[in-house]
Amino acid sequence: MGSQARILLVDDDPDFVEATKAILETKPFEVIVAYDGKEGLEKARRENPDVIILDVMMPPPDGYAVCSELKRDPRYKKIPILLLTAVMQALPHTLYTIEMGLRTEADDYIDKPVDPAELVRRVETLIAG
């Protein structure tokens, strides 16, 4: 990576944002944060980041809404989106995965809370892809 990758992190939980930001900053990433869907959309358009990490469960517009709005817009649809979902993979919760598949065009999703190393790996994959 020549220049620093810019990552937009959108989540309404400040503590989660702080922890996640700390994880991402162990790598040469520039992390931009937004604390709700509306702010997320604004910053996505203004900053045009390399990757968006987007929480699903937020007051409207929620992660799904933000995701589909960006994916509908030809200017931003290329930005990879990693959805943060609130379900762990302890069991294959097919109920949720089916729901997810139907509702989102996100590039990847990961369950909250996330393993630091796994998060970094997923983000790097999205930047490279």
Q: Is 22 in the site for other proteins (CB under 8 A)?
A: yes
Q: Is 27 in the site for other proteins (CB under 8 A)?
A: no
Part in contact with other proteins (CB under 8 A); list of ranges 29-37, 39-47, 66-74, 112-120: 112-120
Residue the block writes with tokens 């702080």: 18
Could you give the CA distance from residue 55 to residue 70 in angstroms, rounded to a whole number?
14
Q: Is 26 in the site for other proteins (CB under 8 A)?
A: yes
Helix (H) or strand (E) holding 11: none
Given 23, 67, 70, 83, the residue binding other proteins (CB under 8 A): 23
Pair 81, 52: CB distance under 8 Å: yes
**In Å, how far are 6, 18, 49, 68, 88 from 79, measured between CA atoms?**
11, 23, 7, 12, 25
Q: Is 98 in the site for other proteins (CB under 8 A)?
A: yes
Q: Is 42 in the site for other proteins (CB under 8 A)?
A: no
Which residues lie near other proteins (CB under 8 A)?
Answer: 13, 15-16, 18-20, 22-23, 26, 57, 86-88, 90-95, 97-99, 112-117
